[in-house]
Chains A and B, each alone.
Chain A
Amino acid sequence: GAGVSQSPSNKVTEKGKDVELRCDPISGHTALYWYRQSLGQGLEFLIYFQGNSAPDKSGLPSDRFSAERTGGSVSTLTIQRTQQEDSAVYLCASSLIGSFAGYTFGSGTRLTVV
């Protein structure tokens, strides 16, 4: 597509429920990243997919968080047994492969756990 698309744009869920967040990167971008941004805070790295290589999962905060990327395109971030501290904006970005490739961000999913 023309840009990075994320869905849903807003999600309200009850504590303890599972949620799935979706990211559709720019066509041809083989690198895909997930970040989390709490209100008024910086961007916290979660996970990074690069082509067919094993993903860099070093930023996932707990085993309740997981992500997959099917067919080298769409990615899904899953949060199991959501907690109130999971409330944040989840941002996805994609880029070309390479040390000098900048990101294009999606508009994010605002997750609220009540």
Chain B
Amino acid sequence: GENVEQHPSTLSVQEGDSAVIKCTYSDSASNYFPWYKQELGKRPQLIIDIRSNVGEKKDQRIAVTLNKTAKHFSLHITETQPEDSAVYFCAPRDNQGGKLIFGQGTELSVKP
């Protein structure tokens, strides 16, 4: 099955700085790579995703980059704001095209 690792587990940045979270996966057949944001006490929400035939995707202050050869993808948040504080999960889809396998999560804290 798919093994997913996320780093770092916690990340603290000053408002306005950039934050990068990295996710490594084991299944070379995975072809869909989303990131979810979970605020305290709330449900996870999809914030950005990328398909295997694309190397980078941007949406305003967030971006995802994919390196299929090295089997890792990263979430980049620029100009961080306090409302970006949350737990972020990567969740590559397994090789059966079915379920998402979630990483352990990264707790991002943005200090004003």
Residues of A within 8 A of B (CB): 31, 33, 35, 41-43, 45, 48, 50, 56, 58, 91, 98-100, 102-108
Contacts and interface: CB of A to CB of B under 8 A. Distances in A.
Contact of A48 (B32, B44, B98): B98
Interface residues of B, number: 25
Interface of B: 1, 31-32, 34, 36, 42-46, 49, 51, 89, 91, 93, 96-105
Contacts of A48: 98-99
A103 B46 contact: yes
Interface of B, secondary structure class, is: loop
Given A42-B89, A43-B44, A108-B43, A103 B100 contact: yes
A30 to B, nearest CB: 12
A45 B99 contact: yes
B89 A91 contact: no
Contacts of B42: 107
A105 B34 CA distance: 14
A102 B46 CA distance: 7
A100 B51 contact: yes
Interface of A, secondary structure class, is: loop
A78 B91 CA distance: 25
14 contacts: A33-B99, A43-B91, A43-B102, A48-B98, A48-B99, A50-B98, A99-B32, A99-B93, A100-B31, A102-B46, A103-B36, A104-B46, A105-B45, A107-B43
B43 A100 contact: no
